[in-house]
Amino acid sequence: MQHAELSSPPDIFRRGLRLGVVSIAFMVATVHAQTVAPILIEFSHVVKPDTPKGKAAQRFKELAESRTAGRVRVEIHPDSRLYKDREELDALRRGAVQILAPSLSKLAGVGGGDMEVFDLPFLFKDQAAFRAVTQGPVGTAMLRKLEKNGILGLAYWENGFKVFTANRALNDPRDVRGLRVRVQASRVLVAQMNVLGARSSVSPLIDVRAALRHGELDGQENTPSNIYTQKLHEAQTHLTVTKHGYLGYAVIVNQRFWLGLPAGIRATLEGAMRDATAYANQIAEAENIEALRLIAASGRIAVSKPTVQELERWRDAMAPTYSATSSWINADTLAAVKQAAGAPP
Ligand code: LMR
């Protein structure tokens, strides 16, 4: 008893110590959980999820989240739900979102002036020619120019060749004259429509369907995948498969955010982006072939494929776009792009 009494203070002391250790361990675990709360990456874009870009964004999310074992969470905001074109670039620069994949047509205001060259008509004979430019040194140099605006270019994603739709048959380039045609925010595309004698109207994609329906627009140009998923074919009577221009994207991030990521996480995300890019560029052409098939099968619009001679007329009619834009399209850039694409000088 005496022995027990004598030994009781150290027991109490030991119990207290155990409790203390447990509490400290709990606190450490809580702090740890707080410090490893997932890094949130918001990826905003302006097309439907069921498009080459939408699917590639989803693939990036899946790869990024699984390979970082939950340390990164990617939230995708498609179809301009968060921002339209111009707003999304502002949002990226101020860090309100972290990733975008805008079309190359829209980057002139943030150091992507050289990328305007991609909008010149009939520049690429096929997707491989576009890829030869974007995946080579010319494409890399163009991405680097975004950095002075706090933007890092991670990759190029492909979509496909644009076609024209209108509320009248476009059998010949002269049929476009006088039409009010929506284009993306690109001076080259405005010049291209001027050359064709059309009135161009710059607007965000999300507004195009309503404008076509209400008669504010007569026509537009886009890839079959964008036309089909935005249901633009339901608001137009005719589609002509001109394939006159190429729509591609730059995947861009807020530089400060990206470089501030832990190095291991950043490397993992860059690997995820590489694989998402391979996926994007592998599915894009087939997605557009399928979208064109679905558009034709819908019976809502007449689809016509110009003959080789008719396509020559489109090419000739749009050729003056090159001289009309020569005061701001850098001749050396154009020559480098043509060379990389294997096009005649
Ligand atoms: C458009 O505005 O038509 C395209 O840039 C949309 C897109 O991102 O494909």
Residue 26: the pLDDT is: 45
Which atom of ligand 1 is found nearest the CA of 103?
5
Residue 7: the pLDDT is: 43
Q: Is the domain 37-341 a CATH 3.30.70.260 member?
A: no
The residue ranges of the chain whose pLDDT is under 50 are: 1-9, 22, 26, 28-31, 33-34
Residue 6: the pLDDT is: 40
**46, 77, 203, 229, best to mutate for ligand 1 pocket (most atoms within 8 Å of CB):** 46
Which atom of ligand 1 is found nearest the CA of 222?
3
CA of 103 to the centre of ligand 1 (A): 6
Residue 18: the pLDDT is: 59
Closest CA to 158 of 44, 339, 286: 286
Which atom of ligand 1 is found nearest the CA of 85?
2
CA of 248 to the centre of ligand 1 (A): 9
Model pLDDT for residues 25-49, shown as the tens digit of each residue? 545 444 454 457 899 999 999 999 9
| Residue 299 CB contacts under 8 Å (≥ 6 apart), including other chains | none
Asked whether 124 and 285 are in contact (CB, 8 A), the reply is no
Model pLDDT for residues 209-238, shown as the tens digit of each residue? 999 999 999 999 999 999 999 999 999 999
The encoded tokens of residue 103 equal 């079309």
Q: How big is the CA angle at 124 (ends 119 and 129), to the nearest 5 degrees?
A: 125
In angstroms, the CA 220 to CA 200 distance is 9
Residue 86: the pLDDT is: 84
- Amino acid identity of residue 23, one-letter, is S
Model pLDDT for residues 232-276, shown as the tens digit of each residue? 999 999 999 999 999 999 999 999 999 999 999 999 999 999 999
Ligand 1 pocket, CB under 6 A = 46-47, 53, 103, 159, 184, 205, 222, 226, 247
Q: Where do the domains of the chain lie?
A: 37-341
The encoded tokens of residue 116 equal 């305007």
Which atom of ligand 1 is found nearest the CA of 102?
8
Residue 20: the pLDDT is: 54
Residue 28: the pLDDT is: 47
Question: CA-based diameter of the chain, in Å?
Answer: 113
What burial class does residue 230 get, using C-beta atoms within 10 Å of its C-beta: 0-12 exposed, 13-18 middle, 19+ buried? buried
CA of 34 to the centre of ligand 1 (A): 39
If you search the block for the tokens 């087939």, which residue do you land on?
A: 286
Residue 85: the pLDDT is: 87
Q: What are phi and psi of 160, to 5 degrees?
A: 175, -170
Q: Tell me the three state secondary structure of residue 203.
A: coil
DSSP for 118-155 reads GGSTT--SSHHHHHHHHTSHHHHHHHHTTGGGTEEEEE
Residue 249: the pLDDT is: 98
Residue 23: the pLDDT is: 56
CA of 208 to the centre of ligand 1 (A): 11
Report pTM.
0.89
Query: Which residue has the CA at smallest separation from atom 3 of ligand 1?
Result: 205
